[in-house]
């Protein structure tokens, strides 16, 4: 198999990876707080050595999968009317406590359990500014949440939601479609902008993803045709050599 085929195969492998990422984006188009992913590819240059290389053929360019990164652009605000549905305008993340530790999220769909604990859709406790679970008295029913996260009921203030930022968003590691893990110190947002009764929708644009998927599929098919043509060419060349040698 010649190097041109290996180069084509490296591009096909990259296209498969890109297709997987696009498909994941599309499947999470309706996931609250989801941030679309992108793939980053680059050329891996292989320098060829030897005196018999044709002019201009001393470098081969393979496709290298460098990274997957998230687009943290703000999603649209969607009204729900639920007093524990919260959207973040601007920077920051909610903190929730999971079985594996504290995680960050933009998915602000919360609910109150029977014991008064405020949790997300997976039952993870929403944390306050001190990193403690938020609990609302079971007898209180009128819940208001200010832009800076102060929770109040008919009996007074019940705590303040902790909103934090990470030093580098690109180093956040996804756990599922809603949670993000960080190994960096977090910093409290001094002036968060929490909107009660709304959630932040996914920032996935379906038409953009569909267009990208079609482009990836065309590129993959082109490379597959090239590999097939190269295989046929090499087979024909071998057959001719065998016939001459016979």
- String of DSSP letters for 184-237: S-EEE-SS--EEETEEEPP---HHHHHHHHHHHHHHHHHHHHHHHHHHHHHHHH
Mean pLDDT of 116-124: 96
What is the C-alpha separation between 238 and 246, in angstroms, rounded? Answer: 12
* 90 and 179 part of one domain: yes
State residue 143's pLDDT score.
96
How many angstroms separate the Cα of 166 from the Cα of each of 36, 94, 169, 176, 192?
Answer: 18, 11, 6, 19, 14
Is 0.75 topped by the overall pTM?
yes
Q: For residue 12, what are its two tokens?
A: 């096909």
Band of residue 161 on the pLDDT scale cut at 50, 70, 90? very high
* 81 and 174 part of one domain: yes
- Mean pLDDT computed over every residue of the chain: 86
* 129 and 46 part of one domain: no
Band of residue 1 on the pLDDT scale cut at 50, 70, 90? very low
* 196 and 238 part of one domain: no
Q: Is the dihedral of CA 131, 137, 138, 141 positive or negative?
A: negative
State residue 44's pLDDT score.
47
* 192 and 219 part of one domain: no
Could you tell me if 166 and 199 are in contact, meaning their C-beta atoms sit under 8 angstroms apart?
Answer: no
What is the C-alpha separation between 239 and 246, in angstroms, rounded? Answer: 11
Domain housing 145 = 77-200
Which residue matches tokens 């016939």?
A: 243
**Choice between 56 and 95, residue whose per-residue pLDDT is larger:** 95
* 194 and 120 part of one domain: yes
Band of residue 99 on the pLDDT scale cut at 50, 70, 90? very high
- Residues contacting 68, CB < 8 A, separation 6+: 21, 37, 38, 39, 40
pLDDT in tens, 28-81: 999 999 999 998 765 544 545 554 555 555 555 556 666 778 899 999 999 999
* 160 and 235 part of one domain: no
* 176 and 107 part of one domain: yes
Could you tell me if 224 and 55 are in contact, meaning their C-beta atoms sit under 8 angstroms apart?
Answer: no
* 16 and 98 part of one domain: no
* 156 and 41 part of one domain: no
Tell me how many domains the chain contains.
2
State residue 62's pLDDT score.
58
* 116 and 18 part of one domain: no
Min mean pLDDT across 41-45, 120-124, 188-192, 222-226 is at: 41-45
* 134 and 208 part of one domain: no
């Amino acid at each position: 198999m010649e190097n041109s085929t290996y180069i084509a195969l490296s591009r096909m492998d990259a296209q498969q990876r890109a297709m997987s990422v696009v498909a994941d984006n599309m499947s999470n188009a309706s996931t609250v707080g989801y941030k679309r992913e992108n793939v980053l590819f680059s050329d891996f240059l292989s320098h060829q050595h030897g005196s018999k290389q044709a002019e201009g053929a001393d470098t081969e360019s393979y496709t290298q999968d460098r990274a997957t990164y998230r687009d943290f652009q703000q999603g649209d605000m969607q009204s729900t009317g639920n007093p524990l549905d919260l959207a973040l305008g601007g920077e920051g993340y909610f903190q929730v406590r999971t079985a594996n530790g504290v995680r960050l999220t933009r998915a602000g769909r919360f609910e109150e359990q029977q014991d008064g604990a405020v949790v997300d859709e997976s039952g993870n406790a929403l944390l306050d500014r001190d990193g403690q679970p938020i609990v609302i008295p079971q007898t209180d029913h009128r819940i208001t949440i200010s832009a800076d996260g102060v929770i109040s009921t008919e009996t007074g203030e019940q705590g303040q939601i902790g909103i934090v930022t990470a030093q580098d968003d690109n180093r956040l590691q996804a756990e599922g479609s809603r949670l993000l893990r960080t190994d960096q110190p977090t910093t409290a947002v001094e002036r968060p902008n929490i909107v009660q009764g709304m959630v932040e929708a996914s920032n996935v644009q379906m038409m953009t993803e569909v267009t990208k998927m079609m482009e990836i599929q065309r590129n993959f098919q082109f490379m597959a045709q090239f590999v097939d043509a190269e295989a046929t060419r090499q087979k024909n060349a071998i057959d001719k050599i065998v016939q001459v040698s016979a």
